[in-house]
Structure 1
Amino acid sequence: MQSAYEKTQFNRQQIEKMLDEFGSPLFIVSERDLRERYGVFADALLRSYEHSAVAYSFKTNYLRKVCETLKNEGARAEVVSGFEYGIARNIGYSGKDIIFNGPHKTELELREALADGATINVDCMEELEMIQSFARSGATPPHIGLRLSSSKVARMTRPDGRGALPHRFGFNIENGDALKAVRWTKEHGPHIRTIGYHIHIAVDEPNPAVFVRAAESAIIFAQQVEREVGYAPTYIDMGGGFVEAELWERKKDLASAAIPSLEVFLGGVGAVVRGARFSSPPMLIFEPGRFIVSRSTVHITRVVSVKNMGTRKLLTVDSSLSILPTATTRRHKISAPGIAGPLVKSIVAGASCMARDVWGDYDLPAVRAGDILVVENCGAYSLSRSSQFITPRPAVVWISIDGIISLARRAETPEDITRLDISGGR
């Protein structure tokens, strides 16, 4: 599948014009690609399990135009903080179309979400007790979900090499915490009721068997709850985190050819849920982020200097790791539009003063200072994780389906950065 850049094929003159108008570096988002990728995922999920829903993971990219577009396509909003919840409400999501996850929710945020009718997946007993404490006064008992974790499933996932503990979230199934939490809600009824389960398990997991095992764990647990407590699940939320072959960009990992297709991931889980026996079939929810938004966005940056580094050229660009945080964790495709000639072993590095701001080794034509590089697949965890370290964040340009170019976010200024600061006094 072609990327947003390959589809639009901006020539160098068109890119130069955008850089002249909006500045360099620059992000460019394709509305067409965004809508197409959502459609691919939603259609594949529907084929896997008819009673299903897609909830877009806001943390992946909460640019307003991105979220509004996916809302118009039919996506629910999956948020993990009160901040993201506020963004979702601000762009027009009703509470019933928001799934509120995350390990920290304040009392004020929980009260608002409950009043709005949002789906809340509770992460810990402290949250459960907080909800119960102010649910007594409500006319309608709150219906909540539980975030589940499974030590057995966690042992099947690929370690990320950075000490991540994906099973630290939620209530553990194997040690009995999950069942205790459900029984607790029953004992404190009719003020609170458990109606669903969330079991997001990993990030960039290339093995569909892990997702199948997670679905089986959630289903077996939900069946036990229905037998022993009397609560039938209205939904099973599998979260996100799976990897899709076309987006496998890790610098040192599996070849993309070894990764199954989207249909294999979704189909395996759909078969498990479809084969489960409940008093009524639960909804199957997935929370994709990277799959939908990654390809929609390219990053344009200029070469500012070229140095000799032995047999390689060192290309320093006017962007940096703070602007494109994924530059050192993903293997982005980089090209030099409009420049022909033999390929040269090149190191691409950012313009910050950090020695680790090195994006990787690439085979590129012989570029000079002032030339343009296009970095692809930048829609996920770039805008939402970028910072103003050393330089303000650049503009974001939106290319509509009919090719109209407009500003989605203006470039920041020093005044934007210091506006919240308070000077003077003691």
Structure 2
Amino acid sequence: MKQKYERPSIKKMNTGFMNKFGTRTDFDPVKEISGVSIKSLIADYGSPVFVLSEKQIRKNYQSAARSFKTRYPKVQFAWSYKTNYLNAVCKIFHQEGSWAEVVSGFEYHKALGNGVAGNQIIFNGPDKKEADLILAIENHSSIHIDHFDELYQIIRICEQIDKKAKVAIRVNFDTGTYPIWDRFGFNYENGQAWTAINKIISAKNLVLTGLHCHIGTFMLSTSAYAVAANKLCELAMRCKVELQNPIQYLDLGGGFPSTNTLKGAYLPGVDTVPSVEEFADAITNTILSFGFTADELPLLILECGRVLIDDAGYLIGSVVANKRLSDGRRATIMDFGINILFTSNWYDHKISVAQEAGQYTEDTVLFGPLCMNVDVVRESITLPLLEPKDNVVVHKVGAYNMTQWMQFINMRPAVVLIDQNAKCHLIRKPETLEYLEMMEQLPDYLK
């Protein structure tokens, strides 16, 4: 009997000199990003400053698209606006062929403003306003329904404006990873999803076009996506056979991890995070082997965010001061903190020095400049001794930091895009006091 062939896989491992914990210690200075020197970036835009590499963004997208499109005939990416909705970033992804995936009304308007056609916008999220739903219906966008109240609201709106809505449902299920993301969408196991599907089919102004899931964030299990894809396929087949409503697309959501290292992880992310190719294998093999005929294969939609942009983003900052804590540990205060580096709550970000440093190193706590005890950038990191005004580079910060950052004590800094020709573009100005006070109104009696 002929043995089943399994394609060999190559896993890239972290290399270099190992410290006592078995991980690499790398103190080579990072003096430039995409051909632009760190010193010139600080001189032109101040410190701290976020920097994005267009070349890396495009490379990431093209690589991910290739991973799926070489395995499955019908693939469409939809850029996750919540990951980074700076217009310059979104435009790059749309130029590469990505649709838009939004989870709020203002993101929907941003997508329209960025030139995305209405039928290429996927509208997710549990809190869609009525005016935004009407706009999405009129623009023929795919509305992913999250709960029954939203379903009834869309039915009512369609009756009032006498238009049909293209809809999908978000489905949650047990994929073997915990906790289960059952807060969003309709449950598969208890029959709630099938009930929602039947209600949609019976509504005269709704057209069920797709099925959607998003099983979690920073997912490290490829098998969980295989389970999710299989359950969506089962629902799609039931829709065809029992309801005579073929499903046009399956949306597997996002959640693919970047190679950042999660806090508490024993090994670095570059050694433990599955590649996009591994996720692509798990998802596409499941759909292709389910039993659809060639002309029945649904469009596969992916809402990737973090994996496409995290390693294209950098934060450059400066040392404010050094001190000794009561237990003798060295502490270094930086000019950036958790107010603008929100992901330091999740990751042990790689941090590099930006200038030549001595050979002596010491375990260091990196604090931000905020008047809060929780403002810790790294709880423990081995670094050369840094002096005030020395610079550092924080790696892989492109996802969520520029959408979840907050103005608190310090203002939010500039964001710079380095294009493919090593030219810098200011894509978001640093905040000013005038900008912060624009929305304030002073009562007459206090003037």
SS of residue in 1 equivalent to 2:247: coil
Return the offset for 1:140: 5.2
1:259-291, Cα deviation, whole Å (9 max, x unpaired): 432211111110111223347211011111011
Q: Following the alignment from structure 1 to structure 2, what is the Cα–Cα distance between the partners of residues 389 and 344?
A: 30
The one-letter amino acid paired with 2:261 is E
Which residue does 1:162 correspond to in 2? none
The one-letter amino acid paired with 2:282 is G
**TM-score (norm. length: structure 1):** 0.92
Which residue does 1:303 correspond to in 2? 319
SS of residue in 2 equivalent to 1:24: coil
1:368-412, Cα deviation, whole Å (9 max, x unpaired): 111101111010110100111111100011111001112111100
Q: Following the alignment from structure 1 to structure 2, what is the Cα–Cα distance between the partners of residues 84 and 158?
A: 30
Contact 1:197–1:236 (Cα < 8 Å) also in 2:
yes
Which residue does 2:340 correspond to in 1? 323
Return the offset for 1:138: 5.5
Match among 91, 100, 106 for residue 77 of structure 1: 100
Which stretch of the first structure deviates more once superposed, 14-23 or 412-421? 14-23
* Equivalent residues in 2 for 1:51-90, closer than 5 Å: 51-90=74-113
Q: 1:268 to 1:408 in 2, by over 3 A?
A: same
Q: Following the alignment from structure 2 to structure 1, what is the Cα–Cα distance between the partners of residues 196 and 30?
A: 50
Match among 148, 155, 173 for residue 188 of structure 2: 173
Which residue does 1:97 correspond to in 2? 120
Which residue does 1:381 correspond to in 2? 400
Which residue does 2:362 correspond to in 1? 344
Match among 48, 67, 74 for residue 25 of structure 1: 48
Q: 1:283 to 1:408 in 2, by over 3 A?
A: same
SS of residue in 1 equivalent to 2:401: coil
Task: Say yes or no: does 1:261 pair with 2:275.
Answer: yes
Q: 1:10 to 1:222 in 2, by over 3 A?
A: closer
Which residue does 1:365 correspond to in 2? 384
SS of residue in 2 equivalent to 1:33: helix
Which residue does 1:335 correspond to in 2? 352
Q: 1:7 to 1:235 in 2, by over 3 A?
A: farther
Gaps of 5+ in 1: 160-164
Contact 1:207–1:259 (Cα < 8 Å) also in 2:
no
The one-letter amino acid paired with 1:130 is Q
Return the offset for 1:228: 1.5
SS of residue in 2 equivalent to 1:383: helix
Contact 2:29–2:354 (Cα < 8 Å) also in 1:
no
Contact 1:142–1:193 (Cα < 8 Å) also in 2:
yes
* Equivalent residues in 2 for 1:173-252, closer than 5 Å: 173-189=188-204, 191-244=205-258, 247-252=259-264
Match among 291, 297, 303 for residue 277 of structure 1: 291
Contact 1:249–1:330 (Cα < 8 Å) also in 2:
yes
Return the offset for 1:104: 1.1
Contact 2:30–2:393 (Cα < 8 Å) also in 1:
no
Which residue does 1:15 correspond to in 2? 38
When the two chains are superposed, the root-mean-square deviation of aligned CA atoms in Å is 2.2
**TM-score (norm. length: structure 2):** 0.88
Return the offset for 1:254: 5.8
Gaps of 5+ in 2: 1-11, 15-27
Contact 1:120–1:145 (Cα < 8 Å) also in 2:
yes
1:89-108, Cα deviation, whole Å (9 max, x unpaired): 11111111111101111111
Percent sequence identity over aligned pairs: 31
Return the offset for 1:17: 2.6
Which residue does 1:50 correspond to in 2? 73
Which stretch of the first structure deviates more once superposed, 261-270 or 139-148? 139-148
